[in-house]
Amino acid sequence: MPDKKQLKIAIVGAGPGGLATWIHFRKLSDVEISIFDGARELREIGAGIGLNENTWRHLQLLGVAEKIDQFTNRGDPTKIDVENRNGVTGKLISRRYQSTDPNIPARSRIERYKLQNALLSAVPREQIRLSKKLVDLKETAAGVTLVFKDETTAGPFDLVIGADGIRSVVRSYAFPEHRLSYTDKVAYRILIPQENVAHIPDIPQGSCFWHTKNTHVYTNPLDNGLFEIATRAPIPDPDGTKVSWGTEVPKEDVVGHYTEYCETIRKILDVPNKWLEFALFGGPRLHSVVHNGRIALIGDASHPLHGAFGAGAAFAFEDAYVLAQAVGEAQQKGTSVASAIQLYDEIRAPHYEALYHVLDDYADIAKEVEAVNHGKDDNEFVESIVQKGLAGNTQWIYKYDVTKVWRERLEEAIKGKNGLDSSIAPVLNAIATAA
């Protein structure tokens, strides 16, 4: 860090990742942070969002959990938390009741905009520069300059943080060889009043995944009298032109994918007249998400996981936290931004690698069950795949405590591991205590 001069930082994107980055970086001294978003106004499209244990803990760390608390419920052991069912027969495959563990956060699945609003409550609106759609970046010795669609520029910056989501322009600039591809799947999502489905027999009381061989439907009563329906369906795209994100589609486009489902689901899906379609894109894992010592990617920009694990917001928060801690540590030590973002990369890469492994395992399970059940009944296939998938414990994803990971890294450094100079131990100790 050059002589305690103000470090100029640009955040591109004011989604959950960009906003959390702003909140974490704001705690550092000697930084000047600018945040840009291409949208004319910040508004979330979509439906509900699940706040898992790690998401919730992080919202507390960000100081905005109380903004969401009112929409969450304390666990009630008599109430169903989540079920998995065979979508064709309705047969129950697994059921979990709500937890009353005081250490586990309130059960919460809320409308997406409420998460956005909670984060926005901690970021003064005048800080966010809207209608600034990034189209290019330019690097010079002085730093990185952002070029926007309106032909204005900003910069140069010492550090640019790409929080610009799955179609990240920052990623395309830093890693031009990385390509997104359509997964041949779409998600259809909608929120409707609970009263519109209340008459349908066998409506589950908690979250429920209804599975068939090629599709699934998720139903969930939300916090405020709304009912959430989220589905996935395979839609091939031989022309390679499929693009949609929150695009309104008529009922007729949706219901045809789910005719084999049990009556409860067919009746539920018949209620909304319009749906929102999201074509799901993914891309290969980037082994490093930093570029040239002054650009770092976070959240969906870094790892386009297309909603797998239902925890993408938490992953973005965790990225933001580690990046801010690493830059803060570099400021304390008087080392470079480049070393800070390198450290960020080293801490986060193993976590993402483990997540991608889980996805590979799911694919392997599907192949294995397909081999065993070849020619057998589809119902058996579905039930064994769900049971095997549930047997693989993925709770570590939601139990992950990024502050602990960071503290442990500091402790290791203090013990003289990682080849770091032990003379910095007092500084690191101070940071560890603050963290």
Ligand X SMILES: Cc1cc2nc3c(=O)[nH]c(=O)nc-3n(C[C@H](O)[C@H](O)[C@H](O)COP(=O)(O)OP(=O)(O)OC[C@H]3O[C@@H](n4cnc5c(N)ncnc54)[C@H](O)[C@@H]3O)c2cc1C
The nearest distance, CB 387 to ligand X, in angstroms, is 23
Nearer to ligand X, 305 or 386 (CB): 305
* Length reported for the chain: 435
The nearest distance, CB 198 to ligand X, in angstroms, is 24
The nearest distance, CB 108 to ligand X, in angstroms, is 10
The nearest distance, CB 271 to ligand X, in angstroms, is 20
The nearest distance, CB 53 to ligand X, in angstroms, is 12
Nearer to ligand X, 298 or 428 (CB): 298
Nearer to ligand X, 188 or 381 (CB): 188
Nearer to ligand X, 55 or 331 (CB): 55
Q: Which residue is nearest to ligand X (CB)?
A: 312
Nearer to ligand X, 165 or 272 (CB): 165
Nearer to ligand X, 53 or 383 (CB): 53
The nearest distance, CB 421 to ligand X, in angstroms, is 34
List contacts with ligand X (CB under 6 A): 12-18, 36-39, 49-50, 55, 132-134, 163-166, 169, 187, 278, 299-301, 306-307, 310-314, 316
